Amino acid sequence: MDIIIVGCGKVGQALAEQLNEEGNNITVIDTVAEKVHDLAVRHDVMGVVGNGATHLVQQEAGISRADLLIAVTGSDELNLLCCLIAKKAGNCQTIARVRSPQYYTETPFLKDELGLAMVINPEQAAASEIARVLRFPSAIKIDTFGRGRVELLKFRLPENSPLVGCAVKEIVTKFRCDVLVCTVERGDEVHIANGDFIFGEKDVISIVAAPRKAAEFFRKIKYKTNSVKDVMIVGGGEIGHYLCEQLVRSGMSVKLIEKDPKRCEELCATLDDDVTIINGDASDKNILLESGLETTGAFVALTNLDEENILLSLFAKSISSCKLVTKINRIDFGSVINHLDLDTIIYPKNITSDYIVRYVRAMSHTIGSNMESLYNIIKGKVEAAEFIIKENSPVVDVPLMELSLKPEVLVAAILRDKKVIIPRGHDSLQIGDAVIIVSSHLALHDITDILK
């Protein structure tokens, strides 16, 4: 597809890289010539320097033949204007990044009136991911499928776990749990687990299960599953704002530390009275200690500086057993950061690109299935995708054991009516099923892509 991306910031760069790797024709627009040139050279995409909210610049970028325009500049208003002009000039699909809570509450109106295909809010999406993890702090990461009926949970095995030394195939018989092990990360190695794989200490494991079955599994392997009662958040930006709203609705006690007095006043005016807002510099450890860091159930570092978030989280880990969540903006150093053992790490830019890439793949589907959800289990290595089987295809009515699947492909779950099926070899896919596929073959567009 021909795709125009307006804005060459971190989100724009991540989108250009990922969508280009999937075979789309990408043109990027930005007012900063250096950003456009660097992105064009690094990823072999077309670049246009100028204001993406002008008809002239969009024409130069090829709006008349474009299938999709994605506006991800730093300005909500500019993004909406880009999409409005694109809709009039090229009649293509449009996606706008909208970060402000004031605009985001009007998403249905904006989509209808401006004809937007999607409104994406990285901060709100990141806050939702953090809130899910805080409700189930055993997990490093939780992704949901089938409108919450199935969860993919990633967690780290403690040294004394009863799973250590067990084979994957023993889980069902030994613990009598209806879960499916998808991936195992051991150091820099990544495995899509087969039945003979033996678990080791500190392995990072991803499982798929219905929420109730997952909770039962964690109880049986003696893993802490209670949600946290109180949360300390450092950083009062938009993610902190959205997160406070969600956590208060869940009944959690929230303290938020923000060093900008003006921002503290804004938060006091917009947030619920149940949120305690502290005006102070969290880089002063005395502020953290006086605010109750040693006894808090969870600590969430959301400042604008990655280095500060990492240091704050490491300090919290040194004096407390609380659940840690650390926001990282720069995605180039993921492999280094993963070795710091920081519990849950949130990359807002990756969340945004996942949402948009899922939509792009759904636009280009051709053979009887729609992509509903897409998550990176391990960025650049393993994905989990949810497909809806729309019509008859080679995968329908054939027992899974008889399907000629590509290597490193796992049918992780089937949702049929209101039932969640953790599939075995004799199960088969039917029209109307939602099916979750875990695969190291990136860029699956259609359910038939799992076949050899």
Domain boundaries, the chain: 2-120, 139-220, 230-346, 351-450
Write down the residue that tokens 């024709």 correspond to. 25
Question: What letter does residue 226 receive in the DSSP assignment?
Answer: P
Segment 204-220 shows an average pLDDT of: 88
User: Does the structural domain 2-120 have CATH classification 1.25.40.10?
Assistant: no
Average pLDDT value for the chain = 89
Q: Where residue 334 falls among pLDDT bands split at 50, 70, 90?
A: low
Please report, to the nearest 10 degrees, the dihedral formed by the alpha carbons of residues 39, 42, 45, 47 taken in order. 30
Instruction: Please state, in angstroms and rounded to a whole number, the distance separating the CA atoms of residues 79 and 120.
Output: 11
What pLDDT score was predicted for residue 41? Answer: 92
Q: Does position 380 have pLDDT exceeding 90, yes or no?
A: no
Write down the residue that tokens 């002239």 correspond to. 56
What pLDDT score was predicted for residue 34? Answer: 95
Segment 415-426 shows an average pLDDT of: 89
Which tens digit of pLDDT belongs to each residue from 276-315?
999 999 999 999 999 999 999 999 999 999 999 999 999 9
Instruction: Please state, in angstroms and rounded to a whole number, the distance separating the CA atoms of residues 74 and 121.
Output: 12
Highest mean pLDDT among 123-127, 367-371, 372-376: 123-127
Share of the chain above pLDDT 90, in %: 51
Architecture field, domain 139-220: 2-Layer Sandwich (3.30)
Global pTM?
0.83
What pLDDT score was predicted for residue 315? Answer: 95
291 Cα distance to chain centroid: 30
Q: Does position 365 have pLDDT exceeding 60, yes or no?
A: no
Which tens digit of pLDDT belongs to each residue from 152-191?
999 988 778 888 888 988 888 888 888 899 999 888 888 8
Task: Compute CA distances 256 → 11, 14, 239, 328, 362, whole Å.
Answer: 26, 30, 12, 18, 39
Q: Where residue 325 falls among pLDDT bands split at 50, 70, 90?
A: very high
Q: Does position 367 have pLDDT exceeding 60, yes or no?
A: no
**b/e string for 207-243 if b means 16 or more Cβ within 10 A?**
bbbbbebbbbbbebbebebebbebbbbbbbbbbbbbb
What pLDDT score was predicted for residue 67? Answer: 92
What pLDDT score was predicted for residue 148? Answer: 84
Which residues, in sequence order, are CB contacts of 91 under 8 Å at separation 6+? Answer: none
- CATH class, domain 230-346, is alpha beta
What pLDDT score was predicted for residue 160? Answer: 81
**Does 230-346 match 2-120 at the fold level?**
yes
Write down the residue that tokens 């926001």 correspond to. 327
Instruction: Please state, in angstroms and rounded to a whole number, the distance separating the CA atoms of residues 342 and 370.
Output: 36
What pLDDT score was predicted for residue 415? Answer: 93
What pLDDT score was predicted for residue 351? Answer: 83
Share of the chain above pLDDT 70, in %: 96
Q: Does position 225 have pLDDT exceeding 70, yes or no?
A: no
Architecture field, domain 351-450: 2-Layer Sandwich (3.30)
